[in-house]
A and B are shown apart, each in its own frame.
Chain A
Amino acid sequence: MTTAMAKMSDYAFVAAMLSTGLATLLYLMYALSGLRAARMQTAGGPESGGALGFVSGPRTAAIGRYATIVGWLAVLAMFASLVFRTIATGHGPFANMYEFSMAFAFGVLTAYMWFERRYHQRILALVALPVALIMMIYAATIPADIEPLVPALQNNLLLTVHVAVAIVAYGSFAIAFAASALYLVQTGSGPTFLIGAAAGLATGAGFLITSGVGEAVLYGIAVSLAAYVVTWLVRRFVLRSDADATEAALEASGGRWGLPRPQVLDEIGYHAVVVGFPFLTLTIILGAVWADVAWGSYWSWDPKETASLVTWFIYGAYLHARVMRGWRGTRAAWLLVLGFEATLFTYFGNYFFGGLHSYAGLG
């Protein structure tokens, strides 16, 4: 029974991975098709009918619909996988990084689909789905064995809720990140963001091959942050590019390359944090309750606790910054990028700092 359920979970997981991959591809085609249509429009050409005789307008919409359907399939498959896994193990998905990464991917997928339903901005998928896909691929590479719970984790209800609440927060923050990334690439900060992100990803990939996930995430984040700052300084003081002017022009024109209007992305980012922040708060509180029951102290400055508090501070600062008029747009988007990097730092924290959360079966 247990093995059968575990098998079902594995199959569903593979199905989820394949459909997420396919959905990512479809969303990419959707974006390219939309970009073509946008170009046609700006070039003054007919709204439908491209160089190869494509009818790009309706075609774009059709691809988008398929992408959405496949995206929901991925959500369903991932949900099924989690349910089977829970039946097989007898507890929520919190016992090791494999289970938690499945839950993270599910959170990002679901948050994306929910935001797509609400805001009709399929372009967000270009950032959100790869994040989910990377989490799934990562989960697929680590041991998935079902092992009985060590004493500290024998608190099924509390930990299941803790993780469930955490994935809502993480999923929302991934959406906020997607919105801010798409915002930044359209503004004068675009090159800075892309150079920083590319440097971070390249460093991460390098360390992934030579060392491990912990180093990859830690140095990837550090290098991307450093690259943001350096690129910004160079562009500001050496190249003397004027980001503000491009931004003003952008607001007036309303979006580049067929991407959503910056104002809309700004709103989506804000709403994602408005959803995610209370859930992060609850995650931290529930974590503290568990720590108090299991270890006799609600707060131990364990590195993972600390990192989650750092993330909380950053999103707290964002929410306060956002209501000050000057902090909409570019600067707010940068805070969201910082917030998501802190989220990843929190998530992968146990790899590089051990501490009380080092249970997670990484040996």
Chain B
Amino acid sequence: MTHEVGSRPLSKAPPPAARPAAKPSAMDYVDRGLEALWSFLTSMRLAMVLLLALAALGVVGSLVVQAPQGVLDNPSAKADFLAEVRPKYGGWTGLMDTFQLFQIFNSVLFKVLMAGLTISLIACSIHRMPGVWRTITKPRLDVGPAFFEHAPQHEAVVVRHTPAETLAIVAGVLRQRRYRILSADDGTIHVYADRFRWALFSGLIGHLALVVILAGVIIGAYYGYRDSNFSIAEGSTLAVGAEPGLSLQLIDFTDSYYAETGAPEDYASQVVLYKDGNEVARHTIRVNDPLHYGDTTFYQAYFGPAAVMTITDASGNTVVDEGIPLAYSAEGGRRGGIFLIPGTAYTGELVSTLGNTDPDIKPGQMQLTLYARDTGSVVDSQVIDQGTTATVGDLTVTFDRESQFTGLSVSRDPGVMLVWLGGALLFGGFALRFLLPHKRVWARITPRGKDGAVLAVASLGSRDAALGTDFEKLVSDVRAALKAPARA
């Protein structure tokens, strides 16, 4: 953070001329309003207030239960969620929902604060740009005599050299340290020297990096997608909804556990990816090892049981012959899955149980309920034992065996590269700032007597900073290069 506020050398500029007492015109008011707005946007106080307000929202967000994404947009899911948290928050629940406390990071207030912070970041960067540019290209050489008495670090030496010789000596020492040296002579010689001046951009880079990250987040939110419920049973192939032509086949899913502790050791989904029917990738997806294809990535997310079913329609065509994931869990240890039965007018719901006390279904059985797709009404419902065939509605259904399904999360996030770029810039800004800090030294050489001069050297920065010792070494080098003996 190369903030120069309040540390720039004292200005010798005359005080601004008093405004003429003429009646201000409407344009003046607009002007003044804009000026006030600009100084408000670029004020560090605003940035600070925004940061602390975001921090406060963050605290609320980490203490209050947050609704999973999308839940609050769906009325029935929202009612379920509110019912779930009501025992915890009691009568406050409704009020908390009104104030969007269950979706803090999606709330209007949060978005307003983030937008404000972004605007403030951009405004500050623009505001500071000319100053930084001037410091780099046209630094002020004459900082006035007072600076050499009041700067945090300063030294004055009486030398027995002419001013020109003194300048050559000082410049020699500085050049050895790879400083850039600028000087001007108006009877007094003014010297300015600096090193790593391009590091002044580090603050700018660091701040704009945040804007880059936010841009990545916004792009991801608008142009990316995520399907967290991509369940495939072993042996089945499922089309990726948002990517036409892309489908994924699960060959095998394995979950293994440590013998001693029973803790999970590995979840591995062996998959084949097809594009327009051609195999394009083959991978074993693990928790820390997703499958990337183009912009799309498949992650291991969850897993569960599946039932392999064979269903034949009234005219004897096999319409289903694959594993059905039982991806949702319900009360009493029940698990269920919903699937379309192609070629028929039905949607099927398959339910199994783990509980021995279930009144309708025993472990090892599946209950198949057929719904009419147009009306949603129940057509028929049967419980089927494993390995047996039953007639449900006008379909012949066999529950072949139990298997497993894997739950993947499929996402495409075109903004993620910007996020990483922003992260790299952010850290790069810091690294630049600390590894190559901008160092500045001013010197003033005033003639004294016939062949003498007074050399004053000054620098900013506090004494105990790394710069401090640097300055002291610099001064002692200059002293050593001067003709001895020199009185201070």
Contact = CB atoms under 8 A, between A and B. Distances in A.
Nearest to B299: A296
Contacts of B217: 299
B228 to A, nearest CB: 8
Contacts of A320: 1, 3, 44, 47-48, 51
Given A147-B261, A293-B290, A323-B1, A317 B419 contact: no
Contacts of B61: 301, 303, 306
A281 B263 contact: no
Given A306-B58, A310-B62, A321-B48, A296 B301 contact: yes
Contacts of A306: 58, 61-62, 105
B297 interface: yes
B58 A323 contact: no
How many chain A residues sit at the interface, stated as a range, is 35 or more
A317 B62 contact: no
Interface string A295-316: 1111101011011011001101
Interface in B406-425: 409, 411, 416, 419-420, 423
B198 interface: no
B45 A324 contact: yes
Contacts, number: 127
Nearest to B1: A319
B427 A278 contact: yes
Given A281-B430, A323-B6, A148 B265 contact: yes
Given A119-B464, A267-B464, A313 B52 contact: yes
Contact of A288 (B48, B289, B423): B423
B361 interface: no
Most buried by A among B47, B287, B426: B287
B48 A317 contact: yes
- Interface residues of A, dominant DSSP: helix
B59 interface: yes
Given A292-B416, A298-B419, A324-B6, A151 B58 contact: no
Nearest to B415: A298
B66 A294 contact: no
B226 interface: yes
A307 B290 CA distance: 27
Interface string A273-295: 01001100110010011001111
A317 B287 contact: no
B304 to A, nearest CB: 16
A290 B190 CA distance: 54
A309 B297 CA distance: 26
Given A147-B261, A301-B105, A349 B6 contact: no
A119 B263 CA distance: 48
Given A313-B51, A320-B3, A325-B6, 13 more contacts: A148-B258, A148-B263, A148-B265, A154-B266, A274-B434, A277-B430, A278-B430, A295-B409, A296-B297, A310-B62, A321-B48, A324-B45, A345-B59
6 contacts: A271-B465, A296-B226, A296-B301, A307-B62, A323-B6, A325-B5
